[in-house]
């Protein structure tokens, strides 16, 4: 699924990286992920939007790090600052997504994927392009291009 694409039915299998914001399970297309960084130091940027944690130096490249829970309006875990950063490539730029926990890489067939329900069409609902139904949980597939619009 391309960065800005929304889910469309078809025989395509998706490979997703699952991550958690608080207790909310989310996922992104693994093709967008450059790496998961557990120790990226972030420097705050004055006057940046509240969801921007700051900037980090990733092997000489300066990247913007976004507090994804804050951007999406999801309550983070109470145990403090998120320390996992998923580095993604979006329109030839690397960005960091600060998350509470990184889960598994999973392959999902089209029978497990549905478009987002019409009742989450609010401002925050537009950040999800699909829902994956597993036996244990529902996972929101993040529309990274939409979610990272500043």
**What structural domains does the chain harbor?**
14-147 (2.40.50.180)
> Which of 43, 67, 47, 45 is CA-nearest to residue 56?
43
Q: In Å, what is the CA distance from 134 to each residue of 2, 16, 63, 78, 111? A: 22, 13, 33, 26, 10
pLDDT in tens, the chain (150 residues): 444 444 555 557 899 999 999 888 999 999 999 999 988 999 999 999 999 999 999 999 999 999 999 888 887 665 555 679 999 988 888 999 999 999 999 999 999 998 877 666 555 567 888 999 999 999 999 999 888 877
Distance CA 41, CA 70 (A): 19
């Amino acid at each position: 699924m391309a960065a800005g694409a929304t889910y469309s039915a078809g025989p395509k299998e998706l490979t997703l990286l699952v991550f958690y914001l608080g207790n909310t399970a989310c996922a992104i297309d693994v093709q967008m992920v450059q790496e998961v960084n557990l120790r990226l130091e972030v420097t705050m940027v004055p006057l940046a939007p509240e969801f921007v944690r700051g900037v980090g130096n990733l092997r000489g490249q300066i990247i913007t790090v976004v507090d994804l829970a804050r951007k999406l309006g999801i309550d983070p875990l109470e145990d403090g600052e998120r320390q996992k950063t998923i580095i993604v490539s979006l329109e030839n730029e690397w960005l960091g997504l600060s998350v509470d926990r990184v889960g598994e890489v999973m392959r999902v067939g089209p029978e497990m994927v549905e478009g987002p329900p019409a009742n989450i069409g609010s401002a925050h609902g537009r950040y999800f392009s699909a829902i994956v139904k597993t036996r244990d949980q529902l996972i929101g597939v993040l529309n990274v291009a939409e979610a990272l619009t500043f």
